[in-house]
Amino acid sequence: MVDIKKILKRMTVREKIGQLSQYNANLFLDTDAMVTGNMDMLVISGEDLKYVGHVLNFKSPAEMRQIQKEHLQNDRNKIPMLFMMDVIHGFRTIYPIPLALGCSFNPDLVTECSRMAAREAVKGGVQVTFTPMVDYVRDARWGRVMESTGEDAYLNSVMGEAQVRAFQGDDLSDKESIAVCVKHFAAYGGAEAGRDYNTVELSEHTLREHYLPAYKVCLDAGAEIIMPSFNTLNGVPATANSWLMKTVLKDEWGFDGIVISDFGAIKELIDHGVAQDGKAAARLAFDNNCNIEMCSAMYFSYLEELIGENVFSMAQLDEAVLKVLDLKKRLGMFDNPYRGADVTDIEITHENREVSRRAAEECAVLLKNNGVLPFKKSTKKLAVIGPFADNHNIIGFWSCNGKNEESVTVADGIKALLPDAEITVIEGCGDEWNDTDTSGFDEAVNAAKASEVVILCLGEPQDYSGEGNSRLELELHKIQLELAKAVIGVNRNTAVLTFSGRPMVLTELEKTAPAILHMWFPGTEGGMAVANLLFGFANPCGKLSMTFPRSTGQCPIYYNHTNIIKYGKPGAHKPYCASYIEHDNLPLYSFGHGLSYSDFAYEELALSKDAMTADESIEVSITVHNTSDIAGKETVMLYMCDMVASTARPVQQLIAFKKIYFEPSERKVIKFTVTEPMLRFWNNNNEYVSEPGEFRLWTGYADHLVLEKKFSLMIGSSDV
Ligand code: GLC
């Protein structure tokens, strides 16, 4: 068994600093592997390159093996490098984007997908993934909402924990496990105006209520690494924010794992104007517990000098290095520096495609259906129209080593499902926001006229979301709306598919489309999932994990708002009310919305009692009846409102959910237990308490709550 303390003893200072540095693969070999940041900021000497302890963004296991082999030949300590990637929603076999995974409300599915990704990543030469991203999001203009599981801290916590446990397994030496890095700490999703990298100003109350919980749940689940975010939080960049990195992360949460900066974020402290120069940036970051520097060279350039000046002690440097060597040891890297890396590229398997397809089916959200869906399986003549009709670019941003060309397009899926049908495929128009060419309309309209059913495939390009891709307008692109009106105008048997990495404004489309099935970016098997869903071989069961606005001007818009006084009822604007002049502030589709081909009747919500003390609980029973003859899954949700408290409480907040399968005509009683900790919130003294008083419970989904019941908490935690 390797003795890391013995290794540490013989290391030079520069060798130690090397263990706190990570660079892109293209510094080590000639590769066109992706670069996930601005490399032009990186200046490192060839001498220092041989000390580097970590690599990110390589293209294949062969590249990993080559870099590792050459490194070990030159490193006198024979310390293996760690190889890290953004395995956000799949490694080679890509499954739906995380915002879509949130819509599955199925942590077991997320576990299955993550385990598959971990197995592929191990073979791909990866030992650490920069996942889960659990940034809380409320503004769909921000491109990175696609990486989050949405606008509810509880849902984000459940999904984040599932990913941590699935990727890391029970033991990091397990050849099917990789270490995770939870990110971006903290509140990157609160970027002002939804503009990426922008300022974040949030009260401590809001941070603790919504933005911080999921990171803590992931760390408590054993996440090995955490990554501070690029943004300033209340004036101080996260990488140098002592309230975040010391008070919260270390003192309150007791996290003693590894902190790795984001890409160049330490050097960017200069750009933020909180560091005079590189030396000051290195000092700020290291002083705030940032252990590994990603893709900038401030530690290589200044850490030795700072130790020589006794700003930091050698013991502090050794502490950071020892954490890194310990992780490498627990990953088994000293025993086998190549771990599970294959010698050739890994291929997508049939089994993994099946996992990806099932995930895409469960993450899709049926937003509207006037009865046109599901289409008849006997359909013989159909048209597949639109910019996403035969488009491989449906695997989404952050698709790691996935390949667009390996995806199943909508047309592919429909042809595979209905091999004997006559299927006409027409693009009809482009997918760029400013496309104006309508020359494809006539062909599309004629095909629609001649078909039994039409599948209209619309949306925003996958490179319109993800990092750095903020948008000013969320409305469906004008030309696509015109195409939709022309096609639906000649064939009412039309179902519209929408593809996006964020909530889109579908208000105009909703007025004319008989059915809308939102697919997000569904991954490698997207087209097969679409075919199964449209023709009833799969029954839609997704529920929105993020609100769809009625117009972009409503952003940020979210379900768990406090009671907006003078709210004003929907309808015409009235003076002195909180709605907009153009329309009220209700969304088009709220958090939790999602239809099914089954019909679920919510018949009763019953409580075991109507009062409890802090040490008691209340049993909640919800009776749901599938009144249709179609089997299906339904996510039964429990919402609550703390009617009066020392701070204004959300008018509704999700506190529990269960995804339940129903046979045709089946009735089930779903049970939940409400305990006092579920009623807690962060009060204005930043205490996490429950307060006595009246609470209301509902089921249904946000903005469509039903079966209200009340109960009282006689004594809260604040009283004990
Ligand atoms: C990027 C992203 C971060 C990612 C890192 C490495 O800039 O902000 O989420 O993990 O760089 O690719």
pLDDT of 572 over the 90 cut = no
In a domain, 527, yes or no: yes
Average pLDDT, the chain: 96
pLDDT above 90 coverage of the chain, percent: 92
SS3 assignment, position 566: coil
Cα 271 to middle of ligand 1, angstroms: 18
State which ligand 1 atom lies nearest to the alpha carbon of 147: 9
Question: Cβ(402)–Cβ(356) under 8 Å?
Answer: no
Residues 6 or more apart whose Cβ sits within 8 Å of residue 107: 158, 159, 161, 162
Q: Write the CATH number for 661.
A: 2.60.40.10
Cα 360 to middle of ligand 1, angstroms: 25
pLDDT of 156 over the 90 cut = yes
- What is the crossing angle of helices 107-123 and 350-363, to 10°? 150
Lowest mean pLDDT among 81-90, 253-262, 580-589: 580-589
Cα 263 to middle of ligand 1, angstroms: 6
The reported pLDDT for the residue numbered 715 is: 85
pLDDT digits (tens, 9 = 90+) for 234-280: 999 999 999 999 999 999 999 999 999 999 999 999 999 999 999 99
Over residues 282-302, mean pLDDT: 97
The domain boundary residue, chosen from 545, 579, 608: 545
Q: Residue 661 is inside which H or E element, if any? A: strand 653-662
In a domain, 632, yes or no: yes
Strands of the sheet containing 667-675, edge to edge, are 600-607, 617-626, 667-675
- What is the crossing angle of helices 478-490 and 441-449, to 10°? 30
CA distances for 386 relative to 26, 292, 410, 465, angstroms: 38, 46, 10, 20
State which ligand 1 atom lies nearest to the alpha carbon of 230: 8
Is residue 541 domain-shared with residue 605, that is, in the same domain?
no
The domain boundary residue, chosen from 522, 545, 568: 545
* Cβ count near 507 (within 10 Å): 17
Question: Cβ(409)–Cβ(391) under 8 Å?
Answer: yes
What b-and-e string marks burial along 298-332, b requiring 16 or more CB atoms within 10 Å of the CB? bbbbbbbebbeeebbeeebbbebbbbbbebbbebb
Cα 526 to middle of ligand 1, angstroms: 25
Question: Cβ(154)–Cβ(202) under 8 Å?
Answer: no
State which ligand 1 atom lies nearest to the alpha carbon of 37: 7
Q: Residue 675 is inside which H or E element, if any? A: strand 667-675
3-state SS string for 338-393:
CCCCCCCCCCCCHHHHHHHHHHHHHHCEEEEECCCCCCCCCCCEEEEECCCCCCCC
| C-alpha span between 434 and 458 (Å, rounded) | 14
Residue 112 Cα to chain centre, angstroms:
16
Cis peptide before 184 (omega within 30 of 0): yes
The reported pLDDT for the residue numbered 575 is: 78
State which ligand 1 atom lies nearest to the alpha carbon of 133: 9
**What are the two backbone dihedrals, phi and then psi, of residue 92, each rounded to the nearest 5 degrees?**
-105, -50
The reported pLDDT for the residue numbered 569 is: 60
Mutate which of 22, 35, 36 for ligand 1 pocket (most atoms within 8 A of beta carbon) = 36
Q: Write the CATH number for 464.
A: 3.40.50.1700
pLDDT of 286 over the 70 cut = yes
Lowest mean pLDDT among 32-46, 278-292, 306-320, 341-355: 32-46
Is residue 533 domain-shared with residue 615, that is, in the same domain?
no
Residue 666 tokens read as 């089946």
56 lines ligand 1 (CB under 6 A): yes
Of the candidates 186, 96, 190, 99, the residue with the CA atom closest to the CA atom of residue 142:
190
Lowest mean pLDDT among 253-262, 576-585, 624-633, 658-667: 576-585
| C-alpha span between 59 and 393 (Å, rounded) | 19
In a domain, 511, yes or no: yes
Mutate which of 188, 467, 469 for ligand 1 pocket (most atoms within 8 A of beta carbon) = 467
262 lines ligand 1 (CB under 6 A): yes
Mutate which of 130, 144, 397, 398 for ligand 1 pocket (most atoms within 8 A of beta carbon) = 130
Is residue 533 domain-shared with residue 400, that is, in the same domain?
yes
Task: Name the region of 320 (left: φ>0; alpha: ψ -120 to 50; beta: rest).
Answer: alpha
Mutate which of 262, 397, 400 for ligand 1 pocket (most atoms within 8 A of beta carbon) = 262
Count structural domains, the chain: 2
Is residue 375 domain-shared with residue 519, that is, in the same domain?
yes
Cis peptide before 556 (omega within 30 of 0): yes
pLDDT of 570 over the 70 cut = no
Is residue 374 domain-shared with residue 470, that is, in the same domain?
yes
Look up tokens 């046109």; give the residue: 372
Cis peptide before 186 (omega within 30 of 0): yes
pLDDT of 719 over the 80 cut = no
Over residues 162-189, mean pLDDT: 96
130 lines ligand 1 (CB under 6 A): yes
pLDDT digits (tens, 9 = 90+) for 32-59: 888 888 877 777 888 899 999 999 999 9
The reported pLDDT for the residue numbered 138 is: 98
Is residue 541 domain-shared with residue 627, that is, in the same domain?
no
**What are the two backbone dihedrals, phi and then psi, of residue 622, each rounded to the nearest 5 degrees?**
-120, 120
Cα 456 to middle of ligand 1, angstroms: 34
Is residue 610 domain-shared with residue 541, that is, in the same domain?
no
Show which residues are catalytic: 262
| Domain boundaries, position 384 | 363-545
pLDDT of 718 over the 80 cut = no
State which ligand 1 atom lies nearest to the alpha carbon of 183: 9
Residue 535 tokens read as 């023709």
pLDDT of 567 over the 80 cut = no
Cα 591-593-597 angle, rounded to 5 deg: 160
| C-alpha span between 654 and 642 (Å, rounded) | 12
The domain boundary residue, chosen from 518, 545, 572: 545
SS3 assignment, position 453: strand
Q: What is the pTM of this model?
A: 0.97
Of the candidates 505, 461, 517, 508, the residue with the CA atom closest to the CA atom of residue 485:
508
Of the candidates 68, 20, 85, 67, the residue with the CA atom closest to the CA atom of residue 48:
20
The reported pLDDT for the residue numbered 123 is: 97
| C-alpha span between 165 and 221 (Å, rounded) | 7
Residue 148 Cα to chain centre, angstroms:
2
Nearest CA to ligand 1 atom 12: 36
132 lines ligand 1 (CB under 6 A): no
In a domain, 38, yes or no: no
3-state SS string for 137-191:
CCCCCCHHHHHCCCCCHHHHHHHHHHHHHHHHCCCCCCCCCCEEEEEEECCHHHC
Cα 460-136-595 angle, rounded to 5 deg: 55
185 lines ligand 1 (CB under 6 A): no
The reported pLDDT for the residue numbered 221 is: 98
Q: How confident is the model at residue 442 (pLDDT cuts 50, 70, 90)?
A: very high
In a domain, 300, yes or no: no
Is residue 440 domain-shared with residue 505, that is, in the same domain?
yes
In a domain, 541, yes or no: yes
Question: Which letter does DSSP use for residue 612 in this model?
Answer: E
SS3 assignment, position 126: coil
Residues 6 or more apart whose Cβ sits within 8 Å of residue 466: 143, 144, 146, 147, 396, 397, 398, 501
In a domain, 37, yes or no: no
Is residue 406 domain-shared with residue 486, that is, in the same domain?
yes
Cα 353 to middle of ligand 1, angstroms: 26
37 lines ligand 1 (CB under 6 A): yes
SS3 assignment, position 465: coil
467 lines ligand 1 (CB under 6 A): yes
Bridge partners of 84, per DSSP, are 56, 128
Cα 262 to middle of ligand 1, angstroms: 6
Cα 594-137-112 angle, rounded to 5 deg: 60
Provide the total of helices (H) and of strands (E) in the chain, helices listed first: 20, 26
* Cβ count near 496 (within 10 Å): 29
SS3 assignment, position 567: coil
In a domain, 235, yes or no: no
The reported pLDDT for the residue numbered 568 is: 59
SS3 assignment, position 325: helix
pLDDT digits (tens, 9 = 90+) for 188-243: 999 999 999 999 999 999 999 999 999 999 999 999 999 999 999 999 999 999 99
Look up tokens 């604040």; give the residue: 718
Over residues 635-654, mean pLDDT: 97
Lowest mean pLDDT among 26-40, 115-129, 580-594, 640-654: 26-40
Q: Concatenate the DSSP letters of all residues of 298-313 into one string.
A: HHHHHHHHHHHTTSS-
Cα 38 to middle of ligand 1, angstroms: 11
Is residue 705 domain-shared with residue 620, that is, in the same domain?
yes
| C-alpha span between 36 and 27 (Å, rounded) | 13
